[in-house]
Structure 1
Amino acid sequence: ALGVAVVRFEFPYMAERRVTGGKRPPNPKKVLLECWREVYRQVRPLVAGKLAVGGKSMGGRMASLLADELGADALVCLGYPFYAVGKPEKPRVEHLAELKTPTLIVQGERDALGNREAVAGYALSPAIEVSWLVAGDHDLKPLKA
């Protein structure tokens, strides 16, 4: 209704999970990034206007690693994994300091992979806006109460 088109895709390991029903670990980073590049190559010619890239959790992280390279008009990350579960001492934010693509990160305040306190300590590019969901977790779900 607002004139926004959305293209969804699955990384190879997620598609295989759906088909086999088995739990598989993510593909190597190189495979995930090439999958993103291929989807972008297919979609870009079909879009007359601006094109934002993004994703949920690791999908958003992979999109953030490519947004500048691809020349995306914007980046949207839902539940960005600022660090792996239980490893806040190893943040995944180095590239976010230099990111030039206008970016919106929607993050839950209770996200186990990057809460408000942890994220406040990171040097993020001025192109990044973080929008906090009160009481939201990594899936952006609020508390039941």
Structure 2
Amino acid sequence: MTTLETVDRGELHGFLHRPDAAPIATLALTHGAGSNCDTVLLRAVAEGFAEAGVQVLRFDLAYRVRRPKGPPHPSRAAEDRLGIADVVATLRKDYPNDGPVLLGGHSYGGRQASMLAAEDPQLVNGLILLSYPLHPPKKPEKLRTEHLPALATPTVVVHGSKDEFATTDEMRSALELIPAATRLVEFDGAKHDLGVTKYPVVEHTVAAAFELFGISPH
């Protein structure tokens, strides 16, 4: 059993999933461009981690807190990263436990999370990037890899083989740029949304994260 709480503190809006026993880790989880933290994917991943003993806060990025619809604006991406940092700080202060603190995000949210972790290696103990948007669709020359050589945080990347934002080979090449330990979890046939109702995304993501980050289940 797990419990779900709505969190609404002005700049922080989201949902906290609590396991039925003392948490073994904490995960802050956010969404991609144009959506919010209440997507099918994020709900499923959050619940899967909570059932495995991890407390999870899935939260809205700063641009989504400001307005209910529309994509983020590139000129304000730094504000989204600042908001992520504030959420991590809030979790450490208000929901502490002895386990690792993790940060995850789908697409744009994962990219901003990884950029923030590259800037601050002490931010979290591990990253979970769901469908990292390596480049815009049909524009493989516009790689979003500049920060990866500075990323010292262990990272799990969950990728669908039919994701238009990266081929599997492109993703493997990108992960080689990261000096920290990485795991690539691939689903053959999955697209950018990862098809969580069709593929065992939750189970494999939780397993990869526990293995890479050294988390022992209850």
**Range into which the TM-score falls when normalised by the shorter chain:** 0.7 to 0.9
1:129 corresponds in structure 2 to 183
**What is the Cα deviation at residue 16 of structure 1?**
4.5
- Structure 1, unpaired ranges of 5+: none
2:54 corresponds in structure 1 to 4
Q: Are 1:44 and 2:92 an aligned pair?
A: yes
1:116 corresponds in structure 2 to 168
Aligned residues with identical type, % of pairs: 33
Q: Which amino acid aligns with 1:124?
A: L
1:29 corresponds in structure 2 to 77
Greater strand content:
2
TM-score (norm 1): 0.84
- Cα-to-partner distance string for 1:35-80 (whole Å, 9 max, x where unaligned): 1111111111222121110110111111111225143111001010
2:108 corresponds in structure 1 to 58
Aligned-CA RMSD value:
2.1
Q: In structure 1, the residue corresponding to 2:57 is in which secondary structure?
A: coil
Q: Are 1:84 and 2:131 an aligned pair?
A: no
Q: Which amino acid aligns with 2:182?
A: I
- Number of equivalent positions: 140
Alignment partners' CA distance in 1, 2:89 and 2:167: 34
Alignment partners' CA distance in 2, 1:72 and 1:47: 13
Mean Cα deviation higher: 73-82 or 2-11: 2-11
- Structure 2, unpaired ranges of 5+: 1-50, 199-218
Q: Which amino acid aligns with 2:79?
A: V
TM-score (norm 2): 0.58
